[in-house]
C-alpha cells in the first residue's frame, strides 16, 4: 500500500469558520508534510513532522495549525482564513526526513475561502 | 540559496514522439539529489525519476531518462514514445543531501500530448 489519503477532497469555508483537513498513510513512514499549491505553481512547503514532532514551520500564519496525533495521521486545522488562502493543500509522507527517500503525495484538498 | 529554473512553461509533443524538458539549477553544494515529479490534471503528484549528484550515470526509468550535466547544472528529462497519459505538469526539484527533505521546486512545465 503506497497510498496517502486526504479528506475532504473539496472544502468551501467562510472566513469565520473552523475546519480541519485530514491526511493518513499506512506505509510506516515517519515523516509527513503539508504543502500549499496555488494554480499553475509548484507546491510550497508549510510544515514537516518527523517522528510525530513538528520539525519545520515555514513561517506559516497561525491561522493554520498542524497536528500529528500519531505516526499515521496528520491534521491541518484552519481558522479565520483569508480568501488568498484558497489553494490545493497537499499532504505527503516519506520513510524518513533524512536520506534519499521518495515523498508520496496525496491527491490534495481543494480549499475555497469565501 | 538554491534555485531551480524550468525555462519552458508549456510544451507539446505528438503521441509516440520524443520530448525533452529542460531544468537548470543553481547551488554551491556538491552533494544533492534531483527529481522529476509529474502532476496530471486533478491527480496526485508522483515521482518520475531521481538522480544522485555523485552518480555519473544518467538515471533511466522505462521511457523516461535524464541527461544530468553536473558542471553545467543541468538536469533535463527525456520522454520517449510519448503517450496520452504523459500529459501533465512536470516539476523539476532539488534537494540537498546535507539536510532534510526540503525540496526546491522549479516553476513547472505543462506538457500536452497530441494524438
Closest CA to B22 of B75, B91, B87: B75
Q: Look at B44 and B82; give whichever has higher pLDDT.
A: B82
Residues A31-46 pLDDT 10s: 999 999 999 899 999 9
Enter the C-alpha cell of residue A35: 504543502
Residue A2 confidence class, pLDDT cut points 50, 70, 90: low
Q: Look at A100 and B90; give whichever has higher pLDDT.
A: B90
Find the mean pLDDT for residues A13-25: 94
Q: Is B31 exposed, middle or buried (0-12, 13-18, 19+ CB in 10 A)?
A: exposed
Where in chain B does DSSP place strands (E)?
Answer: 3-5, 10-14, 19-21, 24-26, 32-39, 46-52, 60-61, 64-69, 74-79, 88-96, 104-105, 109-114
Whether the predicted pLDDT of A10 surpasses 80: yes
Question: Do the beta carbons of residue A42 and residue A93 sit within 8 Å?
Answer: no
Residues of A with CB under 8 A from a CB of B: 4, 31, 33, 40-43, 45, 48, 50, 55-56, 90, 94, 97-98, 100-103, 105-108
Enter the C-alpha cell of residue B63: 521511457
Amino acid at each position: 500500500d503506497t497510498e496517502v489519503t486526504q479528506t475532504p477532497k473539496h472544502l468551501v469555508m467562510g472566513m469565520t469558520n473552523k475546519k480541519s483537513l485530514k491526511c493518513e498513510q499506512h506505509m510506516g513512514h515517519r515523516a509527513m508534510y503539508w504543502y500549499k499549491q496555488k494554480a499553475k505553481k509548484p507546491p510550497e512547503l508549510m510544515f514537516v513532522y518527523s517522528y510525530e514532532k513538528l520539525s519545520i514551520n515555514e513561517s506559516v500564519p497561525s491561522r493554520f495549525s498542524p497536528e500529528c496525533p500519531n505516526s499515521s495521521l496528520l491534521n491541518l486545522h484552519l481558522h479565520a482564513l483569508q480568501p488568498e488562502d484558497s489553494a490545493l493543500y497537499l499532504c505527503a509522507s516519506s520513510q524518513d526526513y533524512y536520506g534519499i527517500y521518495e515523498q508520496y503525495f496525496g491527491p490534495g484538498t481543494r480549499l475555497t475561502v469565501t | 540559496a538554491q534555485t531551480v529554473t524550468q525555462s519552458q512553461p508549456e510544451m507539446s509533443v505528438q503521441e509516440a514522439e520524443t520530448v525533452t524538458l529542460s531544468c537548470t539549477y543553481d547551488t554551491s553544494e556538491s552533494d544533492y539529489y534531483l527529481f522529476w515529479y509529474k502532476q496530471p490534471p486533478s491527480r496526485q503528484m508522483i515521482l518520475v525519476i531521481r538522480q544522485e549528484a555523485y552518480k555519473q550515470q544518467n538515471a533511466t526509468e522505462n521511457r523516461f531518462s535524464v541527461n544530468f550535466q553536473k558542471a553545467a547544472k543541468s538536469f533535463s528529462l527525456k520522454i520517449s514514445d510519448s503517450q496520452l497519459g504523459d500529459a501533465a505538469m512536470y516539476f523539476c526539484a532539488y534537494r540537498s543531501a546535507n539536510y532534510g527533505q526540503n525540496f526546491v521546486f522549479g516553476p513547472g512545465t505543462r506538457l500536452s500530448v497530441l494524438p
